[in-house]
Amino acid sequence: MAPPDSLPPKDMPAANAARRLELARGYAAAALAALDARELPPQPPNFALFYDLAEGSRPDLRMAMEAAETRGPLDEGAMGALANRFFQPTAESMLLADALSRINHTLQEALSLVTDHGAEAEAFGERLVQIAGVMSPEPKKLAEVLRRLTSETGAMIERSRQTSGRISESAGLVESLRAELDAARQQALTDALTGLPNRRAFDDRMAGAIAASDASGKPVALLILDIDHFKTVNDRFGHPVGDAVLRRTAQTMRAALREGDLAARTGGEEFAALLPATKLEEAFEIAERLRLAIAAQTLTIRATGTKLGDVTISIGLALRHPGETPVQWTKRADEALYRAKQEGRNRVVSAEPRKAVSW
């Protein structure tokens, strides 16, 4: 038995609870202060974001928040996008819950059918035994036994046919639900506006790219790009025109990147690309080709013939370092993007030192 002075004090649970309450109040106060400093309303989603930020257990949230603030003051749209990314249930998860409920109901019905059919088969066997017990060589009695045997057998065959049909229907329903889940998963991984993979899909593919790079020893490059002065486009021409610019940017990315590269829309006017098995200079050339392709476009509003003027992008480039986490890698690319913005926009900035290039 431990000596008395090594036992925890009786009031230790109460002390721990008081400490947790004190910490929670501190996080809440920090969240409210952060909202007040940014002139954001303390609505539940906004408060939850800054509470988790103050609590400090979500480095991915901190990185996303910092990246959002480098693009300008946080507004209702930016906060809504962050809340949807970190707190809202996905359409896939909601459909999954519904599908699991329906599959469970279908399987219960199928199990009941099989159980009932088993009981019927057992009863049928007992009746056959009874019939066999009254077998007789007399023609009349034999004819009656054969009639009963034919009747029982025919009824059992019909019940088996019905049961088989209902089980087939259940199997078809389960297969239909599986197809719905596959479609929902694909939808959950696709940006509805541009048709590109979304942030969730990009994060999944990034993990795979890191594993492949570690296994092969080949470098992998990350591009993070942002449409310059996109808020001005929305403010001046309206969100439908802004949406058209986003769709055109996505189309240009698909055309400029190589087969095997991954382009994604990661939020708002921000896009990203993964370039597997790509060295620094090649990655820089691809990024520059993409930047020039965007800048060369002439965008005109069909209804009015108004030209939008130059639409350009800034790009941050980073090669992954050995042992680097996705958060660390993305942070360096984000920092390179921020420098591209600071240096005048419409340019590619690399997080890695590059050799001088003669022109």
The answer to whether the beta carbons of residues 87 and 45 sit under 8 Å apart is yes
Query: Cβ–Cβ contacts within 10 Å for residue 219, how many?
Result: 19
Q: How many CB atoms are located within 10 Å of the residue 216 CB? A: 11
DSSP secondary structure string, 279-312? -HHHHHHHHHHHHHHHHT---B-TTT--B-----
- Which pair of tokens denotes residue 264? 């994604």
| CA dist., res. 330 & res. 250, Å (int) | 20
Look at residues 210, 270, 320 and name the one whose alpha carbon lies nearest to residue 64: 270
* Catalytic positions: 269
Angle between helices 44-55 and 59-70 (to 10 degrees): 120
Under 8 Å between Cβ of 337 and 224? yes
Q: Whole-angstrom distance between the N-terminal and C-terminal Cα of the chain?
A: 81
- Three-class secondary structure of residue 40 per DSSP: coil
How many angstroms separate the CA atoms of 154 and 263, rounded? 63
Instruction: For the chain, count helices (H), then strands (E).
Output: 11, 5
Which helix or strand (DSSP H or E) is residue 30 part of?
helix 12-37
